[in-house]
Amino acid sequence: MRYLAQQGHAVVGVDRDAQAIAAVAELGEAVQADIENASWPLGHRQFGAVVVTNYLWRALWPNILSSLVPGGVLIYETFAAGNQTVGKPSRPDFLLQPGELLSRCADLHVIAYEDGFLSAPERFVQRIVAVHTKTTPDFVLRYDLSPSLHSLE
């Protein structure tokens, strides 16, 4: 949230921890909510980007995906199977299974995907960047993959 706000983007953050919300309140809209045990706090709002890191609650996938506008970008990274051999989280409920992000994003256009081991700190992760595309044949998104692209725009 901090990085995207520093880049000039309007940001909305959700966390159940009041201290975490207080720490980012000056950056944009900060919503304190327990998204695992209460209703989705963002209603039917949609965003140009949704970023999820180090978090997995599978029941939220429909909410996350429906929060993307056509052309919106999903950036998701969290722990994957194998992490139980190097630390926490170690419960299967909190670890993505092989290829799980790909299957969850089957209706999106995948730009990048990784599934593997990182050594500092040691952890197994899956990462995906995917775009919600319109279903009309005349709508074509351009994905600038040139090395000069330095910011999210």
* Domain presence at residue 85: yes
Q: Residue 56 above 90 pLDDT? A: yes
Reported as a single tens digit per residue, the pLDDT across 81-138 is 999 999 999 999 999 999 999 999 999 999 999 999 999 899 999 999 999 986 555 6
How distant, in Å, are the alpha carbons of 89, 114, 144 from that of 68?
28, 21, 20
pTM summary value: 0.86
3-state secondary structure 35-47: CCCCCCCCCCCCE
CA distance 131 to 117: 25
Q: Are residues 61 and 126 in the same domain?
A: yes
Which residue range(s) make up the domain with 29?
Answer: 1-44
CA distance 91 to 112: 26
Q: Are residues 26 and 95 in the same domain?
A: no
The residue written with tokens 């980012």 in the block is: 24
Q: Are residues 38 and 64 in the same domain?
A: no
Mean pLDDT of the chain: 90
